[in-house]
């Protein structure tokens, strides 16, 4: 054991999701309380204390108990421990909050800035997994796959029941809100489908060569953008400027019968408004894997949101960015961020969301 490291003993608290029996069956499930991001031995061999829990809700949770003297906290968007201003007020020793994955909206970033807590995430670790999930969900909805599969599982056979709401992706206008790492990868993957047009809405413009490579056109006004899309995919972080960006009012600008895919963050879309728009037929389908509360309660409106034909729901639990390939990348990334922190080495700038009391990332709203 390195005696210097013991002198700088850190308390690292990780809040991860539970895998139970699946952790033994599949050791690559690294982002779980059982497999602990694969860094337990590495941390403990340096004399650090490493607490891992899934208990995150309320003032008596293990999360709130241990945050009081933790110096580093690791959280994950898949089972978010909400690092609110109130929780931070109890966390006197906290220096760095690391997101095992991408998306740090479960952390009050303004409060972290005031407290000079660094927030870092493993940028890029799961962007391919999400882009693939977006494509899968678009195809699921447009081709009306879920009702088709459910019918077969029920032992039935009725082609017309499914075909009455099944279309081609070819020839449709598809737009992404946010054209960053995921949004751009979605556009790249859409290109071979011969869509009528690809659009994006983002306050940061794509470099011209990147836009030309996928043939995407930028639209500056959200309502104008929405009115042109048959399919809208949301790929922007959740922040003050995107909370309920899709609501009763903006949905009115969407094309009647269009599809909406949200794998970014649940609270970007007003779930009740989406459910109403599906019931009225204005939105033909909604899919994604993110919820405004996670785990989503059994009576969450998006569990029972259907179009006028009883279909159009392609929701899953928050799984898109936690493929096993992604887990390996974000586990390694967390280790690298911690190693830089322990050894006072410069962090990869792309991983920094806030640091030294300022936003380091341009993705969390125009500032």
Binding stretches for ligand NAI (CB under 6 A): 101-103, 126-127, 130, 177-183, 201-204, 235-238, 241-242, 263-265, 289-290, 318, 320-321, 363, 365
Q: Check whether 320 is labelled as a binding-site residue.
A: yes
CB of 159 to ligand NAI, least distance (A): 33
Asked if residues 118 and 97 have their Cβ atoms less than 8 Å apart, the reply is: yes
Whether 188 is catalytic is no
Q: Return the DSSP state at 269.
A: B
- What's the min distance (Å) between Cβ of 317 and ligand NAI? 10
Give strand pairing partners of 120. 98, 352
Residue number, 104 or 113, with CB nearest to ligand NAI: 104
Q: Rounded to an integer, what distance in angstroms lies between the CA atom of residue 18 and that of residue 297?
A: 17
Instruction: Considering the complex, state which of residue 202 and residue 230 has its C-beta at the smaller distance from ligand NAI.
Output: 202
Q: Which residue is nearest to ligand NAI (CB)?
A: 180
Q: How many CB atoms lie within 10 A of CB 44?
A: 12
Do 11 and 48 form a contact (C-beta atoms < 8 A)?
yes
Q: What per-residue string of b and e applies to 200-237 under the rule 16 or more CB within 10 Å gives b?
A: bbbeeebeeeebeebebeebeeeeebbebbbbbbbbbb
238 labeled part of a ligand binding site:
yes
How would you class 196 by CB atoms within 10 Å of its CB: exposed for 0-12, middle for 13-18, buried for 19 or more? exposed
Tell me how far apart the alpha carbons of residues 330 and 309 are, in angstroms, rounded to a whole number. Answer: 40
Question: Given 294, 307, 327, 351, which residue is catalytic?
Answer: 294
Q: Which of 48, 66, 265, 329 is catalytic?
A: 265
Known catalytic residue at 151:
no
Nearest-approach distance from CB 306 to ligand NAI, in angstroms: 22
The distance of closest approach from Cβ of residue 104 to ligand NAI in the complex, given in angstroms and rounded to an integer, is 8
Catalytic, 189? Answer no
288 labelled as ligand-binding? no
Closest to ligand NAI by CB, 131 vs 148, is 131
- Cβ atoms of 179 and 235 within 8 Å: the answer is yes
Confirm whether residue 127 is marked as ligand binding: no
Q: Does the annotation count 343 as an active-site position?
A: no
Query: Across the strands, what pairs with 218?
Result: 200
The residues annotated as belonging to the active site are 126, 265, 294, 318
Binding site members? 102, 126, 181-182, 202, 237-241, 263, 289, 318-321
Binding site members for NAD(+)? 181-182, 202, 237-241, 263, 289, 318-321
């Amino acid at each position: 054991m390195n005696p210097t490291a013991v002198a700088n003993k850190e308390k690292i608290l990780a809040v991860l999701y539970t895998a139970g029996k699946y952790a033994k069956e599949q050791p690559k499930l690294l982002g779980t309380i059982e497999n602990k991001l694969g860094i337990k031995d590495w941390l403990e061999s340096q004399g650090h204390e490493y607490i891992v829990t899934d208990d995150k809700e309320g003032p008596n949770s293990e999360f709130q108990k241990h945050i009081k003297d933790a110096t580093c906290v690791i959280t994950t968007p898949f089972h978010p421990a909400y690092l609110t201003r109130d929780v931070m007020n109890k966390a006197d020793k906290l220096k760095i909050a690391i997101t095992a994955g991408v998306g740090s909206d479960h952390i009050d970033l303004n409060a972290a800035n005031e407290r000079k807590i660094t927030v870092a995430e493993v940028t890029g670790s799961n962007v391919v997994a999400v882009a693939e999930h977006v494509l899968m969900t678009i195809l699921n909805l447009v081709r009306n796959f879920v009702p088709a599969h459910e019918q077969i599982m029920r032992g039935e056979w009725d082609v017309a029941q499914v075909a009455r709401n099944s279309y081609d992706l070819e020839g449709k206008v598809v737009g992404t809100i946010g054209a960053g790492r995921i949004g751009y990868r979605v556009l790249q993957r859409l290109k071979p489908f011969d869509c009528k047009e690809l659009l994006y809405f983002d306050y940061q413009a794509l470099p011209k060569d990147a836009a030309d490579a996928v043939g995407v056109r930028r639209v500056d006004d959200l309502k104008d953008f929405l009115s042109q899309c048959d399919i809208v995919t949301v790929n922007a972080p959740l922040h003050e400027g995107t909370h309920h960006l899709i609501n009763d009012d903006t949905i009115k600008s969407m094309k009647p019968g269009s599809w909406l895919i949200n794998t970014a963050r649940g609270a970007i879309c007003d779930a009740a408004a989406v459910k109403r728009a599906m019931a009225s037929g204005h939105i033909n389908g909604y899919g994604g894997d993110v919820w405004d509360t996670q785990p989503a309660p059994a009576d969450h409106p998006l569990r029972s949101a259907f179009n006028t034909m009883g279909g159009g729901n392609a929701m899953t639990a928050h799984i898109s960015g936690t493929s096993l390939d992604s887990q390996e990348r974000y586990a390694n990334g967390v280790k690298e961020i911690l190693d830089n922190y322990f050894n006072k080495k410069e962090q990869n700038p792309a991983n920094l969301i806030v640091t030294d009391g300022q936003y380091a990332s341009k993705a969390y709203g125009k500032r």
